[in-house]
Amino acid sequence: MASIDYIERIPNNVSLAEDRRLLRALEDWQPKFLEWWHDMGPEGFQAQDVYLRTAVSVDAKGWAQFGYVKMPEYRWGIFLAEPEADRRINFGEHQGQPAWPDVPGEYRGTLRRLIVTQGDTEPASVEQQRHLGRTCPSLYDLRNLFQVNVEEGRHLWAMVYLLDAHFGRDGREESEALLQRRSGDHDKPRILGAFNEKTPDWLSFFMFCFFTDRDGKYQLASLAESGFDPLSRTCRFMLTEEAHHMFVGESGVGRIVQRACELMREHKTDDVRKHGGIDLPTMQKYINFHCSVSLDLFGSEVSTNAANFYTAGLKGRFEETKKSDDHRLKGGTYPVIGLDGEKIVTRQEAALVSLNERLRDDYTADCQRGVNRWNEIIKNHGIDFTLTLPHRAFRRAIGAFAEVKVSPDGRVVSEAEWDARHRDWLPTAEDEAYVGSLMQPVTERGKMANWIAPPARGVNSQAEDFEYVRLS
């Protein structure tokens, strides 16, 4: 009976009940996860009813169920996309062979590292966002924050499932370590740089969801191509949740842009700060910061690691199966930017070692589409201002441009010019203090903070004054 009760608490479509060993491992991990959630998850609001969607199945229509849930009682579960019959490995040296249901011994260490690196980002973002509930611009936004948070928690469950199910004792140790690292901690930081940055305000949160969660989308999409079938199926389902996080980011920034434009027109001024809005030049600085931090997550432009992951069949390209080449990249080349003295140049590099740059290109094109939609909002107000992505060499800490200073428009600049100009390019302490000063909680039903426009529609078509979080 105990195991049936446990199944009810962990929804899953992986026949957990039939695998006693795995069940015990997850049973052992669950209270540690809840302890972490309690310590490092959203600050406050743990006893409140939140209008959340929960994954209940993986088919296209039936997976999301909306209802009031207290966050610690969220039904974190293990969901894999349905298996594809006779799935094959689609790229690399094992191309054409049946996909692996288990970890091939020779790739055990590499796969574990890939899964742990992905898994580490999930709790990290929850930690980064844990203080934001206190300063929500509306109940709608508060609910969206918590939806993102519980789903990142579920993504952690997804990676822990893979570790526990396929990596034995090592996997269980990694599962524990995922709960022990802390975003921004000096002694035990999260693995990747962007996940140790602060998310001090809601503008940063929306930018993070737009830029950094989108890195997640591209990493997951590449892992969804993996020859290791359980990883592929896990990532395919995670992508359906990730789409919502990017919606939160894009629509959040779009609503702030919208509000800035309204204030500019209403008061016939560019100085919307006087009227409690966030001005477009400040938005541009935040874009520069969050985009550059996120570009680093793709790694070095030329990478033998990426080549090895590909050749081994572990991590493919974005939409690998839609491409019509040899899927081995033995011969071809790919354009990669690099430095030639003080100049930024494009070189043809072997396609196989250029996979990080290729994924960064796919990512950048996707970001640009979102920026275009923000610019539409500005244009529709008849305002002459264009938001842009910074040049990809701007403010990079990883790869070919880590040692040089580059302007947002892509010029290598001297230290002196950087020192003189970086305040125009990146948020300053004053910008951050101003944005911080706007972060006053608005928790009345249907009300919105002055610096952000209301959403176009409610969650699950709810009315404007819907009580997304029951505070009383």
Enumerate binding residues for Fe ion (CB under 5 A): 122, 152, 155, 213, 242, 245
As measured in angstroms, the least distance from the Cβ of 145 to Fe ion is: 12
Distance CA 60, CA 170 (A): 34
Q: Which is nearer to Fe ion, 156 or 329 (CB)?
A: 156
β-strands 469-470, 343-350: how paired?
A: unpaired
Q: Which is nearer to Fe ion, 141 or 242 (CB)?
A: 242
Q: Which is nearer to Fe ion, 127 or 213 (CB)?
A: 213
Distance CA 172, CA 118 (A): 16
Return the structure tokens found at 84. 């594809």
As measured in angstroms, the least distance from the Cβ of 331 to Fe ion is: 36
User: Are the C-beta atoms of residues 419 and 441 closer than 8 Å to each other?
Assistant: no
Cα torsion through 195, 201, 207, 208, rounded to 10? 20
As measured in angstroms, the least distance from the Cβ of 122 to Fe ion is: 5
Return the structure tokens found at 187. 């002694």
Q: Which is nearer to Fe ion, 242 or 431 (CB)?
A: 242
Q: Which is nearer to Fe ion, 245 or 360 (CB)?
A: 245
As measured in angstroms, the least distance from the Cβ of 287 to Fe ion is: 19
Return the structure tokens found at 347. 């070189």
Counting runs of H as helices and runs of E as strands, what totals does the chain give?
A: 13, 7
Q: Which is nearer to Fe ion, 240 or 428 (CB)?
A: 240
As measured in angstroms, the least distance from the Cβ of 217 to Fe ion is: 8
Return the structure tokens found at 167. 């990596």
Bin 341: left if φ > 0, else alpha if -120 < ψ < 50, else beta. left
Distance CA 173, CA 168 (A): 9
As measured in angstroms, the least distance from the Cβ of 57 to Fe ion is: 20
Cα–Cα distances (Å) from 30 to 11, 23, 25, 351, in that order, read: 13, 10, 9, 43
As measured in angstroms, the least distance from the Cβ of 209 to Fe ion is: 7
In terms of C-beta density within 10 A (0-12 exposed, 13-18 middle, 19 or more buried), how is residue 242 classed?
buried
Q: Which is nearer to Fe ion, 242 or 301 (CB)?
A: 242
Cα 144–149–153 angle (5° rounding)?
145
As measured in angstroms, the least distance from the Cβ of 362 to Fe ion is: 17
